[in-house]
Amino acid sequence: MLGYVEAVRDMVKPERNEQYLRYIRDNTIRIHRMIEELSFLSHLETGQISYRMEKVRVARFLRDFHGQYELVVRDAGLDFVLDCGEEAPGGHAPVVEMDVQRLEQALFNLVSNAMKFTASGGSIRLTLRIEEVRGTRYAVVGVEDTGIGIPPDQLERIFERNYRYDRPGSENGPTGNGLGLAICREIVIASGGTIRAESDGVMGASFMISLPCVQAV
């Protein structure tokens, strides 16, 4: 790689050296990250990743997550709102079994994805609500943005490996490697949950992680 960098440096005008070197550095980092994510996703899909499951109060987990990443989101010119709803008294706050590190990774992927497609001045909302389906309570964690939306006909495919969806108006905007959402799905499924996305394709997208509640700790 060093020889390649030196060759490029010798070929271009001196005033363009810094620009070309920055381009090479950024692409090297991007490729390295993609290789790491491909390896991690392959291990997830083949069950080679271990999970340290524990009972966790979801609202507390989300408050910690929000506090950890609030400055990162705000530095991007976006509001980062936390809405955990009204917590019921008497220990009835939702509790789920999760690997805190893995779920934080999945949630961070969703927030990072929202940041890519939400212009400065927009907002990202982190929410928590409870749903009951056939007698089972679920904690539903949402990541909602005010970005440019996802075409409805692509909502079923965005969690596929290497599937890169083209959001309207993003031709010259940020792109990904199509692995982040696939990683999210694998982590959530391994945690006994589900993940889905909603968007009208015009403005904003919402991602919902549903995890079955367990007895309070």
What pLDDT was estimated at residue 190? 87
Give the rounded percent of residues in the chain with a pLDDT score beyond 70. 66
Local confidence band at 88 (pLDDT 50, 70, 90 cut-offs):
very low
- Please say whether the beta carbons of 117 and 148 come within 8 A: yes
CA 26, chain centre distance (Å):
21
Local confidence band at 82 (pLDDT 50, 70, 90 cut-offs):
very high
Q: What is the mean pLDDT of residues 136-155?
A: 93
Local confidence band at 181 (pLDDT 50, 70, 90 cut-offs):
confident
Judged on CB neighbours under 10 Å (0-12, 13-18, 19+), 107 is: buried
Q: How many CA atoms lie within 13 A of 160 on its CB side?
A: 9
- DSSP-derived 3-state class of residue 134: coil
What kind and span of H or E run contains 73? helix 58-75
166 or 76, greater pLDDT: 76
**Which of 36-40, 50-54, 153-157 has the largest mean confidence?**
153-157
CB count, 10 Å around CB of 194?
Answer: 15
pLDDT at 38 over 50: no
pLDDT at 205 over 80: yes
Of 75, 53, 56, the closest CA to residue 64 belongs to 56
pLDDT tens across 19-33, in order?
555 545 545 544 445
Of 87, 61, 56, 104, the closest CA to residue 215 belongs to 56
